[in-house]
Amino acid sequence: MRHVIALDVGGTGMKAALAGPEGELLHRARRPTGREHGPDAVVAGILDFAAELRAYGAEHFGTPAAAAGVAVPGIVDEARGVAAYAANLGWRDVPLRDLLAERLGVPVALGHDVRTGGLAEGRVGAGRGADRFLFVALGTGIAGAIGTDGRVEAGAHGFAGEIGHIVVRPGGAECPCGQRGCLERFASAAAVSEAWATASGDPGADAADCAKAVDSGDPKARAVWQEAVDALADGLVTALTLLDPRTLIIGGGLAEAGETLFTPLREAIRRRITFQKQPSIVPAALGDSAGCLGAGLLAWDLLLPTDRSEVTT
C-alpha cells in the first residue's frame, strides 16, 4: 500500500505514523525526544525513528514510504527546510529536511508544529469545508495557523499566525519575546494556571482546576477565567478583523474546558465586533493526532502538489 511517513516532534516526545493516501493512519508509534541528551542526540533520534518507520512500512505494506513530513516546534524556515530555533530542544539552524531526505531517500517536507496541526484541522478536522479558517492553540503559549483553500500560510519569514504575541494589555506583564502585554501572558493555559494558583493559594493548581472551580461557582475562579476570556477575545477580534475567517478553531489544553470556555468566549467576541462578521467558533476535533495528520498531508502534498484540499479521512 502506498504511504508516507508522518512525524510530529514535541519538546518531550515524538508521535509518528504511516499515513495512507486518504489521510488514514496505518501505523502509529511514539518515543521520547531525548532532549536531555542535547540537540545533536535529538536530531539523531529523529533520523533513526524515521528510518525505523521506513523499514516497518517496507516490511508490512510491501513498499517503502513515498515521502515524509515532519512537524517541529520553534522557528521553522519551511522554504529552506531548516529548523531555525527551538528553545525547548536547544537546536539552531538544523537542515532537517535535507538530513531526512538523505537518510530516507525520499522527498521530505518540514513544517511548524502548530501550523501543521492547523493544516490538519482545517483540511480534515473541525474546519473541513471552510475556504478560510483560523486555528488557535491555547497551550503553554498561544500560536495560530491561517488557512486559505486548504493551505496554511507560513508568512514571508515563517512567523505567520503568531497571535500569542499580539499586545492586548499595553504595559502589562513582560513576555519572553521582549514585549509587554502579549496575549499569551493572559490567556494561555500557562497564564491561567499561574493566575489561579495565586488566587486560590494552591501552588499546584492549574487551568483545569480553575475551569472546575468556575463550573462550581467559585467567584475567584470566575474572575480569573473572565480576565483570560476577555484578553483572548481582544486578541481574536484583532485577528478576525485582519483575516476575516469563516471558521475559528480553538484547540490546545485550555479548549478542553469545553463550553466553560466557548460560551463566554463567543459572547465576548459578539460584544466586541461591529462591522465584522462573527465566524463559526468551534473546538478542534483531532486532538493529539493533528500533528501527525498534518505532517502526513505535507508529505502527500509533495507527491500531489496541485490540489490536496479534497483529502478526507
Integer Cα distance of 121 and 113 in angstroms: 12
pLDDT at residue 240 greater than cutoff 80: yes
Cell match 480534515: residue?
A: 124
**pTM of the model as a whole:** 0.90
- Superfamily classification of domain 4-117+288-303: ATPase, nucleotide binding domain (3.30.420.40)
Domain ranges within the chain, ordered by starting residue: 4-117+288-303, 129-285
How would residue 88 be classed by pLDDT, with cut points 50, 70 and 90?
confident
Spatial separation of the C-alpha atoms in residues 106 and 3, rounded to whole Å: 12
Q: How far is CA 243 from CA 42, 160, 238, 278, in A?
A: 36, 12, 9, 12
The CATH code of domain 129-285 reads 3.30.420.40
Give the span between the Cα atoms of 305 and 107, in whole angstroms: 12
Instruction: Report the alpha-carbon distance of residue 186 to residue 238 in Å, rounded.
Output: 16
pLDDT class of 305 with cuts at 50, 70, 90 = low
> Once rounded to an integer, what is the mean pLDDT over residues 233-253?
96
Beta bridge partners of 152: 147
Is 310 a residue whose pLDDT tops 70? Answer: no
Query: How many whole angstroms separate alpha carbon 61 and alpha carbon 108?
Result: 20
Give the per-residue pLDDT at 227.
97
Select from 104, 109, 83 the least CA-distant residue to 94.
Answer: 83
Could you give the CA distance from residue 245 to residue 127 in angstroms, rounded to a whole number?
Answer: 10
pLDDT at residue 51, as a whole number: 96
Percent of the chain with pLDDT over 90: 85
User: What is the band of 313 on the pLDDT scale with cuts at 50, 70, 90?
Assistant: very low
What pLDDT, in 10s, does the model give residues 4-26? 999 999 888 999 999 998 878 89
**72, HSE (Cβ side, Cα atoms, 13 Å):** 31
Q: Confidence class of residue 192 from pLDDT cuts 50, 70 and 90?
A: very high
Is the CB of residue 106 less than 8 Å from the CB of residue 113? Answer: no
**CA dist list (Å): 187 to 43, 114, 181, 262, 284:** 32, 17, 11, 13, 17
Which range has the worst mean pLDDT, 14-18, 72-76, 99-103, 263-267?
72-76
> How far is the C-alpha of 85 from the C-alpha of 212, rounded, in Å?
36
Q: Residue 261, class by beta-carbon neighbours within 10 Å (0-12 exposed, 13-18 middle, 19+ buried)?
A: buried
CA 234 from chain centre, in angstroms, equals 21
Could you identify the residue written with the cell 531526505? 101
Mean pLDDT score of the chain: 93
